[in-house]
Amino acid sequence: MPDPAAPPTAPVQLSALLARPDLGLRQVAGPPAGEGGGAAVHWVHTSEMADPYPYLLGGELLLTAGVQLSDDPGRYAARIVAAGGAALGFGLAPVYDTVPEQLVRACDLHGLPLVEVPTRTPFTAVARAVWGLMAEARHHELRRVSQAQQGLATAAARPDPVPAVLRQLATRLGGRAVLLTADGTALQAAGREPARAAGDALAALARVVRPGAPGTGPHSASAPGSSPAGPRPAPASATDTVGTAHLAAYAVAGGEGLVLGVATTSREPGDHTIAGVAVVLLSLLTAPRQGADEAARSSALVRLLLGAAPGDVAPLLGAGPWTVVHAHGTGTPPALGSPLVDTASDTVRILLPADREVTPHPGWTLGVSAPAALRDLRAADAQAGRALRHAEVTRTPLSRHGTSGLAALLDPAEAAAHARTLLAPLGDPPPAALLETLRTWLSLHGSWDRTAVALGIHRNTVRQRIGRCATLLGSDLDDMDVRTELWFALRQG
């Protein structure tokens, strides 16, 4: 059976549940938790089916009171293990006063952790404890990633940035970080040196992910549309395990085939994200023949990561004006000739000088902001997002947030003041959901269905929000004059 897809949350170790005095759980069979924490619980499922196999995804703590426990507990335990279940929790009420001895022996035989759930503990309490521990783990992961990002950005601003970034990465991951050439030769390294076998395996991973490598490594995959018998592009990253060492290699863009290698004794949630931040910084720091302008922009980006105000780095990035582009599509992202491209999410974001012409890109839908000074890039980013949604709803390859027409004839300060006064009844500040719904609804000529599609909400929600706007504004939104006034006011934001 293939491994089930894990949820996007860190699992809970069974030992953490056993340590909760409020639950009173007790393990009565199966391998002990030990130092590793025992089974990893990804979710909780309650079932009284005689055969729960068809209803399990894998990684569950299956809770049951044994209502339909068969005369063959061995098969019952075997089916849970075959489905990938993490552990079995057996409730002592209302059917059984003790855990059946046959079930205890069966779980020991099949290596399935069996936990006794006391009468005083409802199954919902166990589930709530799992979700609570998952939330704590997720909070810890986000805090750890944020602190690592700040540390790496600080290291990148040092006089010796590359070794400083490697030292910081090795410290954050508790292992070794090494910058390798395409053939696996170590250029610079920091942290504890792994065993020789692990070092050789890390060098081999570097040859797998190097640019231009035929994707023949154990962790590479065929590119869509490529022939299975033909050469495949190298993956951007690869992982391996040698003994107790966990290895990962990442291609460093712009570094003439350089690879970042990482060796740790354990893998924690967030490690991949932290390594990704280091890859971005190393890509900037090792880019060959970096011109003066690009070097200044790289410096400005690092300073922004460190918390500098946009105005402080304006001389380095250039005062502008700038244009922000949002893009959705498949294939190679449209860089539009700019090195300032963010591909970290489904929406590609591009920052480029306002005098650079933006034209439709095959396979992609683009939203383009109005030209903006550096201090106004946040507003321009929002404009580009709205323009992209408008382009997708209207099925056009490119949509622009223009500032021409009558609005260009008015003083911007007076126009903004008028907009604030007109929209004041909606709140101070107005709820973002109301503003975005009203703006989208007006841009789509009052279409409930198209607005719902553009915002990803139900059409009844659109009607409720627009009705709320009409009530607060005390206006008839079917009146074209009212719509025009509101559209003008919303475009000032």
Lowest mean pLDDT among 88-97, 221-230, 469-478: 221-230
pLDDT score, position 45: 92
| 383-433 confidence digits (pLDDT tens) | 888 888 888 877 888 988 865 555 544 556 676 777 788 888 888 777 888
Residue 252: pLDDT band with limits 50, 70, 90? confident
Mean pLDDT across the chain: 80
Dist. CA 372–CA 286, nearest whole Å: 30
Which of 434, 431, 488, 443 shows the shortest CA–CA distance to 466? 434
Q: What is the pLDDT of residue 37?
A: 59
Model pLDDT, residue 119: 92
pLDDT confidence bin for 167, thresholds 50/70/90: very high
| Model pLDDT, residue 378 | 80
- Which residues contact residue 233 at a Cβ distance below 8 angstroms, ignoring those fewer than 6 apart? 215, 223, 226
Amino acid in the structure at residue 405 = G
- Give the chain's count of helices (H) and strands (E): 15, 17
In order of their start, the domains of the chain are: 12-133 (3.40.1390.20), 158-220+233-285 (3.30.450.30), 319-403 (no CATH), 407-491 (1.10.10.2840)
Buried b (16+ CB within 10 A) or exposed e, 373-387: bbebbebbbbbbbbb
Predicted confidence (pLDDT) at residue 35 exceeds the cutoff of 80: no
Q: What is the pLDDT of residues 330-384, one digit of tens each?
A: 777 776 777 777 777 788 888 888 888 888 888 889 999 888 877 777 888 888 8
pLDDT of residue 229: 44
Mean pLDDT across 71-98? 90
Residues 313, 300 contacting (CB under 8 angstroms): yes
Q: Averaging pLDDT over each range in 71-85, 293-307, 386-400, which range is the top one?
A: 71-85
Question: Mean pLDDT lowest for which of 12-26, 277-291, 323-337, 382-396?
Answer: 277-291
Residue 160's Cβ-side half-sphere holds a number of Cα atoms within 13 Å equal to 6
Task: Classify burial at 304, counting beta carbons within 10 Å of its beta carbon; exposed 0-12, middle 13-18, buried 19 or more.
Answer: middle
Residue 403: what residue type?
T
